[in-house]
Structure 1
Amino acid sequence: MNLNLRHAIIQNVASNTKEELEDTIIDAIRSQEEKMLPGLGVLFEVIWQNANEDEKEEMLSNLKDGLQKQ
């Protein structure tokens, strides 16, 4: 992913409230549009980079469990 795209995505949502961020995530998932995947990836990258080791382990467990249900 181009760093300019990453920066643009972050700048686009940086001032959003928690509710607006939640709406953005839910809308992106519900739309099931491929073009939304880079944005979700950038948001996940921010989450991952700001998580401690316990939070990362929980995310990985949730991801593994969710993937097994697919």
Structure 2
Amino acid sequence: MNLNLRNAIIHNVSGNTKDELKDTIVDAIQNGEEKMLPGLGVLFEVIWKNSSEQDQQEMLQTLESGLK
């Protein structure tokens, strides 16, 4: 069986409201389970691909600051 994890994750959250997406993200972070990391990565990929260069730079600044 050839399972495309990225497509499965996107399918599972497609059509969700902002509140539902926030709940998904917050739950994944609060649970701290390793199995949730791929899903968060896919969501970040969607955000990154749909962000302007300025927004990407702001995310990178936030990430850099958070890792210090």
Shorter-chain TM band:
over 0.9
In 2: Cα distance, 1:9 partner to 1:56 partner: 22
Alpha-carbon offset, residue 3 of structure 1:
7.0
> Could you tell me which residue of structure 2 aligns to residue 17 of structure 1?
17
Deviations 1:15-68 (A, max 9, x none): 100000000000000000000000000000000000000000000000000011
> Could you tell me which residue of structure 1 aligns to residue 6 of structure 2?
6
CA-based RMSD: 1.3
Q: Percent identity?
A: 67
> Could you tell me which residue of structure 1 aligns to residue 35 of structure 2?
35
> Could you tell me which residue of structure 1 aligns to residue 66 of structure 2?
66
Amino acid at match of 1:14: S
**Change beyond 3 A, Cα 1:3–1:50:** farther
Amino acid at match of 1:37: L
SS state at 1:16 partner = coil
Structure 2 gaps of 5+ residues are: none
Write 1 or 2 for the structure with the bigger share of helix. Answer: 1
In 2: Cα distance, 1:19 partner to 1:40 partner: 16
TM-score by length of 2: 0.95
After superposing on structure 2, the runs of 4+ consecutive aligned residues of structure 1 that deviate more than 3 Å are: none
What is the count of residue pairs matched by the alignment?
A: 67
